[in-house]
Amino acid sequence: MRARAGDQRGVALVQVLIMSVLLTILATGLLKMTFGTHVMVSKVRHTDIRKQWVEACMARKIAEWAQTGGACVSGSCSFGAGNPTVTVSCPSGRADFTVDN
């Protein structure tokens, strides 16, 4: 029993469609892996920068508090969005400073 030419074309079309779907799924997976890694690296970089800001803030607070002889007992750090500046202020008003990275 021999398949007709129309049947062979239909089978070939189905095979092409199946391969297209499989290649699309594979390409989507590769793109997700590639861009997922890029986003992860970006988040790590932002986390490292914030960590550096916090460390700079704490180091500067300790240095300033040592100069006030203990008069300044607390402080706060505020991080500007997109701006690598740490602002530290003590309630006593004796130690107000800004750390720029």
Reply yes or no on whether the pLDDT at 6 is more than 80.
no
Domain of 48?
5-100
pLDDT digit string, tens, across residues 31-90 = 777 676 655 555 656 677 777 777 777 777 677 667 766 665 566 666 666 555 555 566
Provide the sign of the torsion angle of the four alpha carbons 85, 86, 90, 96, taken in this order.
Answer: negative
Tally of CB atoms within 10 A around 75: 21
Q: Whose structure tokens read 């079309």?
A: 13
Q: Which value, in Å, is the radius of gyration of the alpha carbons in the chain?
A: 30
Could you give the CA distance from residue 93 to residue 75 in angstroms, rounded to a whole number?
10
Which pTM was predicted? 0.35
The count of structural domains within the chain is 1
What does the angle CA 19 – CA 22 – CA 24 come to, to the nearest 5 degrees? 110
Q: What is the structure's pLDDT at 84? A: 54
